[in-house]
Amino acid sequence: MMRMITGVVCRVRVLILIVASVLGTRSHAIDFVHEVVPILRAHCVKCHGGDEAKGGFSLNTRKLFLESGAAEPGDAKQSHFLGLIASADLDMQMPPKDLPRVSADEQRLLVRWVNEGLPWTSGFTFRKNSYVPPLLPRQVNLPGPVELNPIDQILLKHFEQAGQAPPAQVDDATFLRRVSLDLVGLLPTAEQRQGFLISVNANKRQDLVDELLARDVDYTEHWLTFWNDLLRNDYTGTGFITGGRKQISKWLYRALVDNKPYDQFARELIAPPTNDSRGFIDGIKWRGTVSAGQTVEIQFAQSIAQSFLGINLKCASCHDSFIDQWKLTDAYSLAAVYSSRPLDVHRCDKPTGEVATPAWLFPELGEIDGKLPPHERLKQLADLMTGQRNGRFARTIVNRLWAQLMGRGIVHPLDAMHTEPWNEDLLDYLANYLVDSGYDLKAVLRLIATSRIYGASSEVL
């Protein structure tokens, strides 16, 4: 859609002024994924996305787009690509004359997009992702030296390959404050601080981590926030007030106090043995007429995929996703596992005439028997989700725990687990460690918190 034009600069500027003058009056912020991406994909990506960058313009990422000089965030009048789109000159216009034009409404929307600062969803790219995340678990050979924490063994190699020295360790006072807030959400008392600082025990940091994780009540009350957010258990709006939402707080509190193994934890949420944990899959029953994407069945699909697999199905709940591989049928098939009635497929709130077939997202690991009643299908789903062949289950939660303690995931964003990790060995080692520990979440937290990288200075290298 874009290429450098060396002549007729004045005409281009005039056209940009014309396009920029027809701003819409809609008050909502631009929706990059649903409003802008379809236009760029239909008219621009063929020549300026993927491995193509004709005329020096690449749409693969926001950074590359800006580096090409095609757009000026916040200033449509200075954005060259808008003038090329609006041009009536057959030799200048983009897309070229033999391709469909960008409509006037679409042009107005692109002007708004630029003037609103060119918002771009984090991590989104038009480049076809060459990285294919493994589904099965992968064993990692530790590089040594063996006296180091396994995390530090992996990252020492990482630093060596990058030509950098590992960061220095923080002092004891900083470590004490950091680990206390991270593991139990409380500052140490004056007595605890003094005792830790004067101790000459060479293993006092490891011992401190053990002591903090053994404070079951403090640990639970702190980590409830993390799990309430992840499981959408903190919602207290209209649906809850009118009895359309059942919290799982008592079950969750007991599960954390008992350090329930994570595979059992997930199974009891996906296929609840009692009503105590059922609120997670039942979602929110809204009053009145709701969109197809707000039904409890679709909420189930979205919550299961996001919480346990790091997959965001919100786009695919309405239409085939523009930003990843998931299709409308994937979202509805997962929703149908839960549904107690035939589930009609809707695309953008309009019925397609199709009925969803119960299935889960990775049929290569096993299938759901659609002839079974819902509670039996949920048991099948729970077994498939937590089965050891599903490496994504463990990878997703250890990535979340790493992000909680370290500030950013090994895969980022956390709910885009199809994204390439910055260190695949580290992610896979932690996932295997979780499984080998009997799905002990505290064991993973201990491994991270006792590593040298956790106790390192946060200064930029």
In this predicted structure, what is the pLDDT of residue 83? Answer: 85
Burial 195-208 (b: 16+ CB within 10 A, else e): ebeeeeeeebbeeb
Q: Is 439 left (phi over 0), alpha (psi -120 to 50) or beta?
A: left
In this predicted structure, what is the pLDDT of residue 87? Answer: 79
Among residues of the chain, what percentage have pLDDT more than 90? Answer: 62
390, amino acid identity: N
**Which letter does DSSP use for residue 203 in this model?**
T
Q: Which residue has the higher pLDDT, 255 or 322?
A: 255
Classify 347 as helix, strand or coil: strand
Sequence-distant (6+) residues with CB within 8 A of 332 are: 298, 301, 317, 343, 345, 356
In this predicted structure, what is the pLDDT of residue 239? Answer: 62
Segment 169-192 mean pLDDT: 98
Sequence-distant (6+) residues with CB within 8 A of 26 are: 112
Q: Which residue has the higher pLDDT, 132 or 375?
A: 375
In this predicted structure, what is the pLDDT of residue 321? Answer: 86
* pLDDT, the chain, mean: 88
In this predicted structure, what is the pLDDT of residue 88? Answer: 76
Instruction: Please classify residue 412 by burial: count the beta carbons closer than 10 Å to its beta carbon, then call 0-12 exposed, 13-18 middle and 19+ buried.
Output: middle
Q: Which residue has the higher pLDDT, 427 or 76?
A: 427
Most confident of 104-118, 139-153, 394-408: 394-408
Instruction: Count the helix, strand and coil residues of the chain and give each as a percent rounded to the nearest 5.
Output: 50, 5, 45
Q: Which residue has the higher pLDDT, 393 or 52?
A: 393
In this predicted structure, what is the pLDDT of residue 8? Answer: 38
Listed range (52-56, 330-334, 354-358) with the worst mean pLDDT: 52-56
In this predicted structure, what is the pLDDT of residue 129? Answer: 61
Confidence of residue 122 (pLDDT cuts 50, 70, 90): low
Write the DSSP string, 205-252.
Answer: HHHHHHHHHT-HHHHHHHHHHHHHHHTTTT--SHHHHTT-B---HHHH
d(CA 342, CA 75): 50
Segment 34-58 mean pLDDT: 78
**pLDDT for residue 410 is more than 70:** yes
Cβ contact 209:446 at 8 Å: yes
In this predicted structure, what is the pLDDT of residue 460? Answer: 62
In this predicted structure, what is the pLDDT of residue 243? Answer: 63
Print the SS3 string covering 15-37. HHHHHHCCCCCCCCCCCHHHHHH
Listed range (103-107, 358-362, 389-393, 427-431) with the worst mean pLDDT: 103-107
Between helices 424-436 and 150-161, what is the axis angle to 10°? 170
In this predicted structure, what is the pLDDT of residue 63? Answer: 83
In this predicted structure, what is the pLDDT of residue 16? Answer: 43
**Which letter does DSSP use for residue 57 in this model?**
-
The model's pLDDT over 221-244, given as tens digits with 9 standing for 90+, comes to 999 999 999 998 877 666 655 566
The model's pLDDT over 301-332, given as tens digits with 9 standing for 90+, comes to 999 999 999 999 999 999 988 778 899 999 99
Confidence of residue 85 (pLDDT cuts 50, 70, 90): confident
In this predicted structure, what is the pLDDT of residue 89? Answer: 74
Confidence of residue 19 (pLDDT cuts 50, 70, 90): very low
Most confident of 83-97, 134-148, 427-441: 427-441
The model's pLDDT over 64-80, given as tens digits with 9 standing for 90+, comes to 888 888 888 998 888 88
Q: What is the pTM of this model?
A: 0.78
Write the DSSP string, 366-423.
Answer: ----TTS-HHHHHHHHHHHHHSTT-HHHHHHHHHHHHHHHHSS-SSSSTTBTTSPPS-
Write the DSSP string, 264-304.
Answer: HHHHHHHS-SSGGGTHHHH-B--SS---GGGSHHHHHHHHH
Confidence of residue 27 (pLDDT cuts 50, 70, 90): low
d(CA 271, CA 385): 11
